[in-house]
Amino acid sequence: MAKLDGTKVVVIGGASGVGFAVAAASRESGAQVVVGSSQKARIEAAAARIGGGARGLTVDVRDETSVAAFFAEIGAFDHLVFTAGDWGRMFSPTRELDVEASKALLEVRFWGAVRVAKCAVGQIAKEGSITLTGGMLAHRPQPGAPLVTASAHTTEGLAMGLARDLAPVRVNAVCLGLISSEAVQAMGESMIRQFTSGLPLPRAGTVEEAAEAYLYLMRAAYVTGQVVRVDGGGSLV
């Protein structure tokens, strides 16, 4: 299997949670790492914690000029991982939807990924990869949350479309179940238990367990347009 030794890996969303774990694991696998996120202090602290010469650069994926400047600063690279996400209020029953306000909820996770792919494509290696991040609610719709499901689907659709359009660069997505990042831990133990107790693996995943899927997709040189689920078996129940 291809190694990450000597490759350059860029993780947008690497200040915390799953993105940070992907960056740290890439570094341990021998990659040179660049992490990006919107808050300077947070991303610089993350780069320092990763160590090994990791760079932390600010980028706001809601702004194409900011994304273009980020990639201009980085130069050529091999693999791009996108875990940026905000936690805007997407849980709203259809009857009560504020449609205009809802459009903004796709700015980071969907349109951010589109801007990043557009600005990265001239600099990513032909043997390189892009890995996006979606969520299990794409496949487990809940009452009162149609936009959460729709939004999660846009990620998987984008990965498939980009895989055709950007080939031979490979593009895939990781579909996450409940993963105990700092943001998820803030939900509290009882809510986490409520979401996970009926799973074949009845607990939240760790960020390190999630990171394994991203490392696999970076290395898997014959895999493109696919979605890897890291969900404790949630898609079976």
Ligand X SMILES: NC(=O)c1ccc[n+]([C@@H]2O[C@H](COP(=O)([O-])OP(=O)(O)OC[C@H]3O[C@@H](n4cnc5c(N)ncnc54)[C@H](OP(=O)(O)O)[C@@H]3O)[C@@H](O)[C@H]2O)c1
Residue 13 CB, shortest distance to ligand X, in Å, is 4
Residue 208 CB, shortest distance to ligand X, in Å, is 12
Is 40 or 164 the residue whose CB approaches ligand X more closely? 40
Is 57 or 169 the residue whose CB approaches ligand X more closely? 57
Question: Which amino acid is present at 97?
Answer: L
Token pair 């010469």 is found at: 53
Is 32 or 37 the residue whose CB approaches ligand X more closely? 37
Residue 222 CB, shortest distance to ligand X, in Å, is 25
Cα(109)–Cα(103) distance, integer angstroms: 12
Question: CA dist 198 to 6, 166, 195, 207, 228, Å?
Answer: 42, 39, 8, 20, 21
Residue 20 CB, shortest distance to ligand X, in Å, is 7
Residues that bind ligand X (CB under 6 A): 12-13, 15-19, 37-39, 42-43, 59-62, 83-86, 108-109, 133, 135, 176, 178-179, 181-184
Cα(111)–Cα(82) distance, integer angstroms: 12
Q: Please name every residue paired with 129 in a beta bridge, in sequence order, or none if there are none.
A: 79, 170
Residue 136 CB, shortest distance to ligand X, in Å, is 6
Cα(108)–Cα(125) distance, integer angstroms: 25
Cα(232)–Cα(237) distance, integer angstroms: 10
Is 157 or 168 the residue whose CB approaches ligand X more closely? 157
Residue whose C-alpha is closest to residue 221's, from 80, 127, 131, 158: 127
Q: Please say whether the dihedral angle defined by the alpha carbons of residues 133, 138, 142 and 144, taken in this order, is positive or negative.
A: positive
Token pair 């990869």 is found at: 129
CA angle 142, 175, 79 (to 5 degrees): 150
Is 116 or 163 the residue whose CB approaches ligand X more closely? 116
Residue 128 CB, shortest distance to ligand X, in Å, is 20
Largest CA distance in the chain: 52
Is 4 or 47 the residue whose CB approaches ligand X more closely? 47
